């Protein structure tokens, strides 16, 4: 597939993340106005809420874009998703007869404030990156026992906090928690000293389910994808995770990028999961290419200083696809809801430069990083800004997600003050 031309000139650059081929969905406001649903096209945002009000978009007897999130459209299913994409393409394509009516509904992205694009129903985070799991297991249990026996057979995950999922740009407060030093008999209640990130891709469930679903059905249920940063307090995690896994160490915040990139936009970049170490059970077997070739990177910027790219990797490193994660999640019969968010798990590659967390990059603090500013980091310090970026490169065009950024604030002096 090659670049599709738009009458919005900025969308026709080979390097711009929001060409006509992309059309990602977000929620925005301008100058304190009510948030509206919008689609990114070049440097602009088309106000989809107003476009529906004025009859330029008509997909249902009931309004789909009168609320400041995309859930009402998501629950309509793939046929309506495709109808919207076709209509937007018609309105924004080069030579469109509707240009005059649409042009006055464009807002400059530079003037917009971005909001959460969905109402998150529930949030589940997985542990499906082979290299990440191997690295972390090696650090804590040695290379011979790095992966638990169940890991190659099914996606491992835990249920996180939907209430603490935030949009890119939201500041992140360093958490307090129980920390246990091997030099002391009792834990202490202190601010986290080993605060970290995890580079992930989040899959958003569109159509709900009742009961188990196949991998293909799960793939069809997924509406789109966002970049996701699973902020993690490693010292809190080390003390609490046995025997039931992460809890408060993962509850501080989860940041997502502001734009939902649809499956249709990513279709040209579909690719297979890596070779299997063991044969999967029938209900989890791959039924086609279900990963995507998405280049990912992490930058780290100390307060008021230049950003350093500290890692580059690719989403195709995942061992299990989002469809397999969703299918496994539903095997118990638990309903999956419109707006459920599934974190991929940390995405790391085989090389040190491809590790998707500071825990791995600094090897638990034993191999600190030197930033371009000359500062040294093992974990995040107050004032540091972490940014995730993701793009897929086509022939003459780029599909981008928009940055997923968060700046870490100091811990509260008294977390119980009212």
Question: What string of pLDDT tens digits covers the 418 residues of the chain?
Answer: 899 999 999 999 999 999 999 999 999 999 999 999 999 999 999 999 999 999 999 999 999 999 999 999 999 999 999 999 999 999 999 999 989 999 999 999 999 999 999 999 999 999 999 999 999 999 988 888 899 999 999 999 999 999 999 999 999 999 999 999 888 889 999 999 999 999 999 999 999 999 999 999 999 999 999 999 999 999 999 999 888 889 999 999 999 999 999 999 999 999 999 989 899 999 999 999 999 999 999 999 999 789 999 999 999 999 999 999 999 999 999 999 999 999 999 999 999 999 999 999 999 999 999 999 999 999 999 999 999 999 999 999 999 999 999 999 999 999 998 7
- Domain 9-115 indexed as CATH 2.30.30.230: yes
| pLDDT value of residue 206 | 98
Q: Are 44 and 107 in contact (CB under 8 A)?
A: yes
Helix, coil or strand: residue 234: helix
| pLDDT value of residue 151 | 96
Distance CA 84, CA 82 (A): 5
| pLDDT value of residue 280 | 97
Residue 392: in which H helix or E strand, if any? strand 385-393
DSSP-based helix, strand, coil % in the chain, nearest 5: 25, 30, 45
Of the residues 16, 36, 131, 132, which is catalytic? 132
Q: Where in the chain is the domain with CATH 3.90.850.10?
A: 123-409
Buried b (16+ CB within 10 A) or exposed e, 319-345: bbbbbbbbbbbbeeeeebebbbbbbbb
For residue 22, what are its two tokens?
């992309």
Angle at 48 between CA 44 and CA 50, to 5 degrees: 105
The CATH number of 123-409, from 3.40.50.2300, 3.40.50.300, 3.90.850.10, 3.40.50.1100, is 3.90.850.10
Tell me the CA distances in angstroms from 233 to 33, 117, 139, 237, 329, one per residue in order.
36, 26, 16, 6, 25
Whether 132 sits among the annotated catalytic residues: the reply is yes
Distance CA 418, CA 410 (A): 18
Q: Where in the chain is the domain with CATH 2.30.30.230?
A: 9-115
Distance CA 62, CA 406 (A): 37
Q: Has this prediction a pTM greater than 0.85?
A: yes
């Amino acid at each position: 597939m090659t670049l599709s031309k738009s009458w919005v000139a900025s969308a026709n650059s080979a390097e711009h993340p929001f060409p006509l081929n992309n059309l990602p969905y977000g929620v925005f406001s301008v100058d304190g106005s009510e948030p509206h649903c919008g689609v990114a096209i070049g440097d602009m945002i088309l106000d989809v809420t107003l476009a529906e009000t004025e009859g330029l978009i008509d997909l249902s007897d009931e309004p789909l874009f009168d609320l400041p999130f995309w859930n009402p459209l998501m629950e309509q299913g793939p046929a309506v998703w495709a109808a919207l994409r076709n209509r937007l393409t018609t309105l924004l394509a080069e030579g469109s007869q509707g240009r005059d009516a649409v042009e006055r509904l464009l807002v400059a992205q530079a003037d917009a404030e971005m909001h959460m694009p969905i109402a998150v129903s529930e949030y589940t985070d997985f542990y499906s990156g082979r290299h990440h799991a191997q690295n972390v297991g090696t650090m804590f249990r040695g290379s011979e026992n790095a992966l638990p026996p169940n890991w190659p057979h099914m996606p491992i995950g835990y249920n996180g906090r939907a209430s603490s999922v935030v949009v890119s740009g939201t500041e992140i407060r360093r958490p307090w928690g129980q920390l246990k030093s091997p030099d002391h008999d009792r834990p202490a209640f202190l601010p986290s000293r080993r605060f970290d990130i995890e580079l992930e891709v989040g899959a958003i469930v569109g159509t709900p389910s009742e009961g188990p679903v196949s991998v293909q059905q799960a793939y069809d249920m997924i509406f789109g994808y966002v970049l996701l940063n699973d902020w993690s307090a490693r010292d809190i995690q080390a003390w609490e995770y046995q025997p039931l896994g992460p809890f408060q160490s993962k509850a501080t915040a989860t940041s997502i990028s502001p734009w939902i990139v649809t499956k249709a936009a990513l279709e040209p970049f579909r690719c297979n999961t890596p070779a299997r170490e063991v044969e999967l059970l029938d209900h989890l077997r791959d039924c086609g290419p279900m990963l995507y070739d998405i280049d990912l990177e992490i930058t780290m910027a100390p307060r008021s200083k230049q950003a350093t790219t500290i890692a580059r990797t690719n989403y195709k490193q995942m061992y299990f696809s989002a469809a397999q994660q969703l299918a496994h999640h539903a095997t118990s019969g638990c309903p999956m809801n419109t707006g459920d968010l599934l974190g991929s798990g940390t995405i790391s590659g085989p090389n040190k430069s491809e590790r998707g967390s500071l825990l791995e990059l600094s090897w638990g603090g034993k191999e600190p990083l030197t930033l371009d500013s000359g500062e040294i980091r093992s974990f995040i310090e107050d004032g540091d800004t972490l940014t995730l970026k993701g793009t897929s490169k086509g022939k003459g065009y780029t599909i981008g997600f928009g940055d997923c950024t968060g700046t870490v604030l100091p811990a509260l002096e008294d977390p119980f003050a009212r």
